[in-house]
Each structure stands twice: as structure tokens, then as C-alpha cells.
Structure 1
């Protein structure tokens, strides 16, 4: 029997340092998030970061926390519930980090007789710290606890025509009645070394602005190429003016070169260049989360206005919109009926 496992990032159980600390520990100790030797990672995370970060992060979570719980979890649960209404096979939701584990979700599916699972990492783009770590963790759990289950993984869907269509329509809806000077596509940032590590050719990715436009097998696992492709496809779909759209990267750590340009620098640059009305799209995520709701919607607005900007609009993620649910349902149903992945 077939079933579907949706996996998103995860969340602490509450916006308190007590619950944030173990969540951050699991997240930051992931070798695909902080990819340094374990001893150094342990020293960095447990000896330095976790001494101060939980209290700071808890305050950030408290700013965006809903009555029902973590926005990312609540949105993911709503999306899952809607998806179940559009397919006749079991659908379970797990998180890469936190108490809503992948193991619990697979247990839920096997309890319903499922032995063939479509794994759906809820990330449009391939990155070792997001999409890849979900796949690796799911395979580890499957091998250890559910050896009789067969796993099939949905590919990164960053350029799927259906995904681009619903993303574009969502952005267009968000731009209604907002006369923008500029649209900034701000994606989650990753270290430049992750790009090179994900390059199967070991030579194509140079992060110099040219390699992304030269066709290569490396693009299948190149986060930088894929996010720029998403921006270009949406721009083409909506007919956005060339000079009014750009791409940037947020959420970096000090000490290493991360993908540029940096979003906070772009807020200042655009405002000082006279862009008074800015719309921001966070297309690295399908569900609004701490990074979109606090870092971009709140802090980003402050940064832009302090630099001289006047009007700022964060376009929500796809979340549990009916159109996005229908796209995912179509993919699931096609896999169920034809055993092919349409993405």
C-alpha cells in the first residue's frame, strides 16, 4: 500500500529557552548544517552558540508564535489535512528536527499498512542543509526501523511549471494594490563551500556569476543555480520588468563566505538608490516560519525603513493555499497511479 511522508524543517515545542535549546542543538549539530568535524562542531555549538542563542531565539519565536503553536507547524498541519482530502492514500507529516520526528510519521504510515512511501521534502530547492539532510535522515530511519518500507523521493521542484505557476499567482495576489519600485527575491543563505561540496563534477561550480548559466549536471544539486532559476521563471511568468527584480540571500553566520548579495545589505542599497516601495518574496520556503515572519517581515521592514525606504511588503509563502495543495495532490496522485514523478 502506498503513502506519503511530508517533511518540513521543524520547530521548538514552545518559544522558551528551555524548548529552543534542544531544538537548536539537534539542528546545529547536523553535519549537513554545520559541516565541520564533529569535535569542532560540538565545541562551536555546545561550547559557544548554545550558551547564548537559545534565549535570543526564544524571544524571536515569541514574536511570531500563534495561539495554535509554531506557525511553521500549524501551516504544515493545515496543508497536510487539506492534501488528505485530495488523495485516497495515507499522508503523514514529520519534521527534520524537533519532537514531530520522521520516525513518528513513518510509524503512523506503517500503522495504516503502508509499505511504499513517497518522501516529499517541503523545500523547492536542493541544498545539503535542507533537502539533502531530510532525504539522508529518512533513509537512515527507514533502514534502522522500517526495513520493509520502500522509499521514493520527490525531486526538488524549483522549476516545475505547476509550482512556478502557483508561486507566480500567489506573488501577483500579494502585489495587488501595492505599487512597488522593486521586488527582492530573498532566499535562505548557505555557505559558499556547500555549493562546491554539492557539485558532483568537483569543478563546475565557481560561484562567479557565470557557471549557473552554463548547462551542467551540477545544476541538479546546485542551490545557487536553482534559486536564480526560480526568480527568472517567475519573472518571465509574470512579465516583471528586468530592472525591478533582483535576488539576494539572508541568514548568514560570521566567519565564512556565504552566498551574496546579502539581503540586509540589499535593503540598505535599494533604499539609498531611491527605491521607496519594496516587495520581498521568500521563495526558498513553502511555509512561513521564523526566518520569513521575523527576520524578513519584521526586521527587514525596520532595516529598509531605517535606510530611507517608505513602504515595505512581505509576500507570504504558499502556505496551505488551495492552489498549492492541488499541485501537490496532482503530483501525489500521478505517482500513486503511474509510479512516475511528474516534477
Structure 2
């Protein structure tokens, strides 16, 4: 790729509290949960739920959970994202910035740092393999809001969800292969859950039935269907690994509130696996590219405890891609594709 100092890459991940202090966690959760793309109620009811109920108790519990995964460098998600940024910068010829959808470094901070280097054309990379309104969509909406308000003269294009790109599937499959025990009974793919209504809301065809449409070929809804994309990742990875269907399952974790979320639920599934004869479980979380609270605490600590208490004997958590070289190469390739788009506009 030619060096061109007017172009830059901005990696964007979810975000994290600045510390494990309850007030910092509360501030983070307030920004996160008040996002209308996350809890998609009208503002009054969202505020009533979040600020009137959730923020009364959850910050203290979440702060304790964060303490179990916090490192000397800080939040695992932030630390891993910074390492990814550094490793990508070593192999590309344009400046690489970093922003978070919530908290700091914010998307505005990330754009500003690139603009200060003379960048006028930014390829923004949402670090989510699958599309969802609470991930990819909210990142793009926020970036456009920031651009229009503070940086109207810059151009931004976006790396699209890459759930079915062969380079990504190869990297994920090989990462799993290297860490998967030889004698496992079941490989569980645990994806972050979303309310079922989110799936319907992002369907441009209004034909989703949360079932058979996910398997249809060339369905225009697939581009925006989180459920389909989760199952597709699983299918493609298992094909690469040569895994039979009976040794694989898909579940969804991290539900919030009493609304109907995508099923089957990870925690409820873990509870019953032991009784079904599954004694040696491996679990991977491909909705995340960076290990974070939801993987390091919810799955590898709480999930392990649930599984073992329910009769399981061995629990192997397979880490996210994090800063593996194959993943850095994926980010490089997908970013450069979009950087090159600027040449043809």
C-alpha cells in the first residue's frame, strides 16, 4: 500500500470503565445502557429503567466483577485494544488510532488524534465480526454524529462485518485448533445475546421468523441479521476444523432484564450439560475479538463454576483472538481494502 499521510485507520471497540471504582463503573454503565441502540425503549422509559433501577445496584456488583479481571495495565479490553493498535501500526504505512464507543478514549478522541496528524480520510474499523444494532450500528451512528459536529471536512468509510470472510474464519479456526483439547466432549460457541426484537428491527425485509430464514441462501436480511451471522461463523469454523455437528452447539450469553432474548441461553445450558453426559467442555466466544469482562469473568469464571457444579469435570475456555498475528493480519487486510476505496472515489 502506498504511503499517504492523508489517510488513517481508526479501530473502535466497546469500551470500559476507567477504573474499578463504583462511581467510574456507574458512569460507564450509564453511558452504555442509555444508548438507544442498546436498550431501545423511548427515552423516558429507558431512563426509568437504567437510572431509576439498574444503576441503583448494578455498579457495585459490576465493580466487584471488574476487580477479578483488572490488570496492572488496566481494563483487559482497553489493554488488548492498545496492543492491537500498536501491532497494526508496525505493519501499515498510515497512522492508526483507537477509540471506544463508550468512555475513553472516545471516538471523538480517536478521530482528533488522527486529524492532528493531518488525516482527512479515515477508515473506521468496528471490532465486531457480526452486525448488530447494539454494536456495529451504534458505532457508525456515533462516528457520523461526531464527524458532522466536530469534523465536517473529513471523510469516513467503514469496514463491514467480516463474519464470513475467509481470512477471518481461517484465523479464528486456527486459533481454536491450537487451544482445543484433543479429548473434548463438546465445543460450545457462546455469542453475546441480544433481545429478539433487535433482530426484527434490523431486518430490512420484515420477513424474519427467527428460525428457518437464517438458513436460506442469498437472503437479503443476512447482511443485517446477527443471529444468522453467529450461526454462519460457527458453521464455517466447524467446516474448517472438520468437527461433526454433534460435538458443537451455539448459545447466547449476557442477557439483561426480563425481555425475550435470543436462545438458548449460555448459563442455563451450562447448568444442564453435565447431566447429559458432557464432562469435558471447551467454550469459545466469537462475538468478541478481545477478551473482556464477558469472557474472562462471565464465562471463564462464572460459566466454569456453573458447569462443574452441574456435573461437568473439565472446562476449557478458549481465549479471543486478542493480538494474535493472524488476527492483526486480518485487521490489516480488511482496513487496507477500505483505504484503497478512497482512491477510486
Matching residue of 2:258 = 255
Q: Is the 8 A contact 1:12 1:20 kept in 2?
A: yes
Unpaired runs of 5+ in structure 2? Answer: 1-5
Matched, 1:267 2:270: yes
Q: Is the 8 A contact 2:159 2:335 kept in 1?
A: no
1:218 to 194, 209, 221: 221
User: For the residues of structure 2 that align with 1:263 and 1:94, how far apart are their CA atoms?
Assistant: 30
Matching residue of 1:102 = 107
When the two structures are superposed, what TM-score results if normalisation uses the length of structure 2?
A: 0.96
1:172 to 170, 174, 177: 177
Q: Is the 8 A contact 1:334 1:340 kept in 2?
A: no
Matching residue of 2:198 = 194
Q: Is the 8 A contact 1:87 1:332 kept in 2?
A: no
Matching residue of 2:3 = none
Matching residue of 2:8 = 3
Give 1:339 shift. Answer: 4.4
User: For the residues of structure 2 that align with 1:38 and 1:329, how far apart are their CA atoms?
Assistant: 39
User: For the residues of structure 1 that align with 2:330 and 2:343, how far apart are their CA atoms?
Assistant: 15
User: For the residues of structure 2 that align with 1:91 and 1:190, how far apart are their CA atoms?
Assistant: 30
User: For the residues of structure 2 that align with 1:240 and 1:152, how far apart are their CA atoms?
Assistant: 37
Distance 1:340 1:234, change over 3 A: farther
2:166 to 143, 161, 166: 161
User: For the residues of structure 1 that align with 2:282 and 2:144, how far apart are their CA atoms?
Assistant: 39
Deviations 1:303-341 (A, max 9, x none): 000000000001000001111101211222333345499
Matches of residues 31-110 of structure 1 in structure 2 within 5 Å? Answer: 31-110=36-115
1:144 to 145, 149, 152: 149
Matches of residues 274-313 of structure 1 in structure 2 within 5 Å? Answer: 274-313=277-316
Q: Is the 8 A contact 2:289 2:321 kept in 1?
A: yes
Matching residue of 2:245 = 242
Provide the aligned length of Structure 1 versus Structure 2.
338
User: For the residues of structure 1 that align with 2:88 and 2:187, how far apart are their CA atoms?
Assistant: 31
Unpaired runs of 5+ in structure 1? Answer: none
2:120 to 115, 129, 137: 115
User: For the residues of structure 1 that align with 2:69 and 2:182, how far apart are their CA atoms?
Assistant: 24
RMSD: 1.2
Deviations 1:122-142 (A, max 9, x none): 000000011110010001000
User: For the residues of structure 2 that align with 1:340 and 1:121, how far apart are their CA atoms?
Assistant: 21
When the two structures are superposed, what TM-score results if normalisation uses the length of structure 1?
A: 0.97
